[in-house]
């Protein structure tokens, strides 16, 4: 089963081999409200951990999405251009943002597992 | 076309529902179509003579078909736009507590002065000898702005706040270039609660933006700021009072630390109305600051004219102010665009060139100067005092029932979070929509982003105490209803009494219809049609 990790910026990453699929969490989509636009990165873009790489815009606010790990973008979810609501209805499914070929899997260690992330969200009140 | 989105089938009053009318109108509130949906082909508001026959040179490209303009008589057009204007809400109609926008009253003397023939009928390309008074007016306003801010120079041409930010940050960039440090200083610091235009301006000029967190008092975290300062930092962009309506009490220490690190201090002057006449930003170590003439000196959005965002500059940045400069040679004013003019002002440097055609927003200059001169120095001081007093009155009257985001006293804005609505099922948006039914334009919501479900109320100095009391009473009643825990459905249904009910903002953002098209059948993606289904 694929491993899923979480960042403090409320991104998730599902790890399969060297590739990670990235999106935002249920908590993040609830906080944002209805998503109306998602700007995903182009394939081939190289990105460093923590760099702003995508933009998600809701009726309330526009927010940057940060790369939870370093690597190269290999695929992005083009369907979000037409159906940004997928981020609300299936944040961890059809609402994924992009896939990244990780350059340093060691970086995953700095991210949270599901239990730790749930505790983190709880601590936010 | 079905235009039923948001329209109520009937008006709910208490538990009874008023029936829909035959016409769709409600009393004298007319259900108004778009102008393109009105009229008859061939009808015209004016009687024009047949054009003389001339041989055209269009080689058969002459249009002969219908150009798609609606055919309407003059009274139809007048009635259409008057009806639309009656559906609009404006500062001349009542309390307009939109935080961060400073919707203050626009005194009528401003409009009288702006319409004087010698001012209202000017053309920017008139010979300079015929506009001596206008140039003197610009210089007089510049003098006031420099005096009120305690700054040595001002660039008058920026067209509004964000344009002013661009001007100020370009001056900082130019000054760094002159020092040979532009390549090395790439970072601009901005507090998390900053106006979105601050990071946008910095990014547009090629800087990298680094956010600075706030402390639990809603102010800049000084330790975090000091830790972020280094040889790579070009500037900090800071609003004071900040977007939480709080005075940055450590601002002098902030500016000292910024200067010690070799960086510049850009102050966002959007909230200058809270301190005008009381605090001179120059005394706080500010290097440049834009002034929203259309906030601090009246004439807000919809209140008389466009924006205007002059930028005051410190001695270090003055040489990089954009053209034109208004200078006086002997007893003649002129619009200068040459280094010689600067030298005559004792300034050595390389101006940025022009940011904008002509000299700035003349209509706004006139209104701002009228506002300043009609208030006088003592009046301006009272403007700031009354704005702060009004906001604190609102905060004090509501703090036991709503939840202030930060401990008061505040400056010109009272900021609440949504914790008082916790577990009621009512959101900030629902609360704001319910205010419309009570006759109030909602406050700013969900800004600043750092406060959960933010409600930012800026009453300004324009609202009389008894009107503020009514406003406060309405908010207290709504809060009490929300807290019953059984009113979520009623709040979600608001507004009930507006020309349109709750609009589908999500669909409008996802599938916007940006222009009317001459089609009787709206396309499948038409949100109006979808909403009706």
Q: What's residue B122's pLDDT?
A: 93
- Nearest-angstrom CA–CA distance, B121 and A45: 55
DSSP B64-83: -S--------HHHHHHHHHH
Q: Assess contact for B442 and B435: CB atoms under 8 A.
A: yes
Q: Cβ of B343 under 8 Å from any chain A Cβ?
A: no
Q: What's residue B1's pLDDT?
A: 37
* Mean predicted confidence (pLDDT) in B468-482: 98
Q: For B74-129, write each residue's pLDDT tens digit.
A: 999 999 999 998 888 888 899 999 998 899 999 999 999 999 998 999 999 999 99
Query: Residue B446: its chain A contacts at CB < 8 A?
Result: 60-61
* Mean predicted confidence (pLDDT) in B10-27: 68
Burial-class residue A124 by CB neighbours within 10 Å (0-12, 13-18, 19+). exposed
Q: For B167-179, write each residue's pLDDT tens digit.
A: 999 999 999 999 9
Comparing A64-73, A102-111, B156-165, B513-522, the range with the smallest average pLDDT is B513-522
Sketch out chain B's domains with CATH numbers: 110-117+129-369 (3.40.640.10)
Q: Which residue has the higher pLDDT, B305 or B26?
A: B26
* Mean predicted confidence (pLDDT) in B302-308: 71
Q: What's residue B466's pLDDT?
A: 97
With CB atoms and an 8 Å threshold, state whether B509 touches A85: no
Q: Which residue has the higher pLDDT, B48 or B441?
A: B441
- Residue B342 reports pLDDT greater than 80: no
Q: For B206-259, write each residue's pLDDT tens digit.
A: 999 999 999 999 999 999 999 999 999 999 999 999 999 999 999 999 999 999
Which residue of A59, A62, A85 is in closest CB contact with B505? A59
Query: Residue A36: its chain B contacts at CB < 8 A?
Result: 506, 509-510
Q: Which residue has the higher pLDDT, B432 or B531?
A: B432
Q: For A33-90, write each residue's pLDDT tens digit.
A: 899 999 999 999 999 999 989 999 998 888 889 999 999 999 999 999 999 999 999 9
Question: pLDDT-based confidence at B10, cuts 50/70/90?
Answer: very low
Q: Assess contact for B365 and B142: CB atoms under 8 A.
A: no
With CB atoms and an 8 Å threshold, state whether B510 touches A60: no
Query: Residue B506: its chain A contacts at CB < 8 A?
Result: 34, 36, 59, 85
Q: How far is CA B411 from the centre of its chain?
A: 18
Interface of A with B in 49-108 (CB under 8 A): 57, 59-62, 84-85
With CB atoms and an 8 Å threshold, state whether B506 touches A61: no
Q: What's residue B533's pLDDT?
A: 38
Q: For B179-211, write each residue's pLDDT tens digit.
A: 999 999 999 999 988 888 999 999 999 999 999
Comparing B291-300, B387-396, B466-475, the range with the smallest average pLDDT is B291-300
Q: Which residues fall within 8 angstroms of residue B69, CB to CB, at 6 or more apart? A: none
CATH architecture designation of domain A3-104: Beta Barrel (2.40)
H or E element, residue B140: helix B132-149
Which pairing describes strands A98-102 and A71-76: parallel, antiparallel, or unpaired?
antiparallel
Q: How far is CA B316 from the centre of its chain?
A: 29
Q: Cβ of B449 under 8 Å from any chain A Cβ?
A: yes
The pTM (predicted TM-score) of the whole model is: 0.87
Q: Which residues fall within 8 angstroms of residue B132, CB to CB, at 6 or more apart? A: B332, B333
A60-64, B281-285, B343-347, range with greatest mean pLDDT: B281-285
Q: What's residue B304's pLDDT?
A: 53
Q: What's residue B513's pLDDT?
A: 86
Q: What's residue B69's pLDDT?
A: 85
Question: pLDDT-based confidence at B303, cuts 50/70/90?
Answer: low
Q: What's residue B16's pLDDT?
A: 45
Q: What's residue B302's pLDDT?
A: 58
Question: pLDDT-based confidence at B329, cuts 50/70/90?
Answer: confident
Q: Average pLDDT of chain B?
A: 89
Comparing A117-121, B87-91, B371-375, the range with the smallest average pLDDT is B87-91
Quote ipTM for the complex: 0.75
Q: What's residue A19's pLDDT?
A: 95
The radius of gyration of chain B from alpha carbons, rounded to an integer in Å, stands at: 27
- Nearest-angstrom CA–CA distance, A57 and A38: 6
With CB atoms and an 8 Å threshold, state whether A36 touches B449: no
Q: What's residue B67's pLDDT?
A: 79
With CB atoms and an 8 Å threshold, state whether B446 touches A34: no
What residues does each domain of chain A span?
3-104
Burial-class residue B483 by CB neighbours within 10 Å (0-12, 13-18, 19+). middle
CA distance A100 to chain B (A): 24
Q: Cβ of B446 under 8 Å from any chain A Cβ?
A: yes
Q: Assess contact for B500 and B5: CB atoms under 8 A.
A: yes
Q: For B380-431, write each residue's pLDDT tens digit.
A: 999 999 999 999 999 999 999 999 999 989 999 999 999 999 999 999 999 9
């Amino acid at each position: 089963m694929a491993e899923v990790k979480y960042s403090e910026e409320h991104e998730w990453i599902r790890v399969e081999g060297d590739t990670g699929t990235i999106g935002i969490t249920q908590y993040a989509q609830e906080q944002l409200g209805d998503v109306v636009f998602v700007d995903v990165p182009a394939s081939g873009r190289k990105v460093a951990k923590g760099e702003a790489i995508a933009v998600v815009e809701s009726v309330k606010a526009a927010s940057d999405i940060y790369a939870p790990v370093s690597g190269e973008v290999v695929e992005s979810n083009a369907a979000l251009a037409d159906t940004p609501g997928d981020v609300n209805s299936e944040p961890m499914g059809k609402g994924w943002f992009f896939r990244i070929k990780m350059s340093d899997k060691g970086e995953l260690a700095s991210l949270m597992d599901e239990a730790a992330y749930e505790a983190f969200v709880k601590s936010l009140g | 076309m079905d235009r039923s989105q948001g329209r109520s089938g009937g008006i709910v009053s208490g538990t009874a529902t008023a029936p829909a009318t035959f016409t769709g109108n409600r009393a004298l509130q007319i259900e108004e179509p778009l102008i393109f949906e009105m009229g008859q082909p061939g009808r015209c508001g004016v009687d024009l003579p047949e054009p003389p026959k001339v041989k055209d040179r269009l080689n058969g490209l002459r249009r002969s078909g219908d150009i798609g303009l609606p055919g309407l008589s003059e009274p139809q057009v007048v009635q259409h736009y008057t009806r639309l204007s009656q559906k609009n809400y404006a500062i001349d109609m009542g309390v307009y507590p939109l935080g961060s926008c400073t919707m203050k009253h626009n005194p009528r003397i401003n409009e009288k002065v702006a319409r004087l023939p010698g001012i209202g009928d000017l053309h920017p390309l008139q010979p300079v000898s015929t506009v001596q008074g206008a140039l003197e007016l610009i210089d007089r306003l510049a003098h006031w702005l420099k005096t009120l801010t305690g700054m040595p120079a001002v660039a008058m041409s920026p067209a509004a706040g964000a344009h002013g930010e661009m001007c100020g940050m370009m001056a900082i960039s130019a000054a760094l270039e002159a020092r040979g440090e532009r390549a090395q200083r790439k970072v601009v610091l901005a507090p998390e609660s900053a106006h979105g235009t601050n990071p946008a301006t910095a990014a547009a000029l090629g800087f990298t933006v680094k956010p600075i967190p706030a402390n639990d008092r809603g102010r800049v975290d000084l330790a975090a700021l000091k830790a972020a300062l280094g040889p790579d930092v070009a500037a900090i962009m800071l609003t004071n009072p900040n977007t939480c309506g709080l005075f940055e009490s450590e601002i002098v220490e902030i500016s000292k630390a910024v200067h010690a690190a070799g960086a510049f201090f850009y102050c966002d002057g959007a909230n200058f109305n809270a301190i005008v006449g009381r605090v001179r930003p120059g005394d706080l170590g500010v290097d440049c600051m834009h002034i929203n003439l259309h906030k601090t000196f009246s004439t807000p959005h919809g209140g008389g004219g466009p924006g205007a965002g002059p930028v005051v500059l410190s001695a270090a940045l003055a040489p990089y102010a954009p053209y034109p400069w208004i200078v006086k040679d002997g007893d003649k004013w002129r619009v200068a665009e040459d280094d010689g003019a600067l030298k005559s002002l004792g300034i050595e440097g390389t101006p940025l060139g022009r940011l904008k055609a002509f000299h700035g927003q003349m209509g706004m200059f006139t209104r701002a100067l009228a506002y300043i001169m009609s208030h006088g120095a003592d009046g301006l001081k009272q403007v700031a005092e009354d704005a702060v007093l009004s906001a604190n009155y609102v905060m004090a009257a509501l703090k036991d029932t709503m939840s202030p985001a930060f401990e008061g006293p505040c400056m010109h804005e009272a900021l609440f979070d949504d914790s008082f609505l916790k577990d009621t099922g009512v959101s900030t948006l629902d609360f704001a929509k319910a205010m419309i039914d009570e006759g109030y334009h909602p406050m700013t919501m969900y800004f600043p982003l750092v406060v959960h479900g933010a409600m930012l109320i800026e009453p300004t100095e324009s609202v009389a105490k008894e009107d503020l009391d009514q406003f406060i009473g309405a908010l207290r009643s709504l809060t009490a209803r929300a807290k019953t825990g059984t009113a979520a459905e009623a709040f979600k249904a608001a507004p009930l009494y507006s020309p349109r009910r709750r609009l589908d903002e999500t669909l409008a953002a996802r599938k916007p219809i940006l222009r009317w098209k001459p089609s009787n059948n709206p396309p499948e993606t038409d949100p109006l049609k979808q909403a009706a289904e």
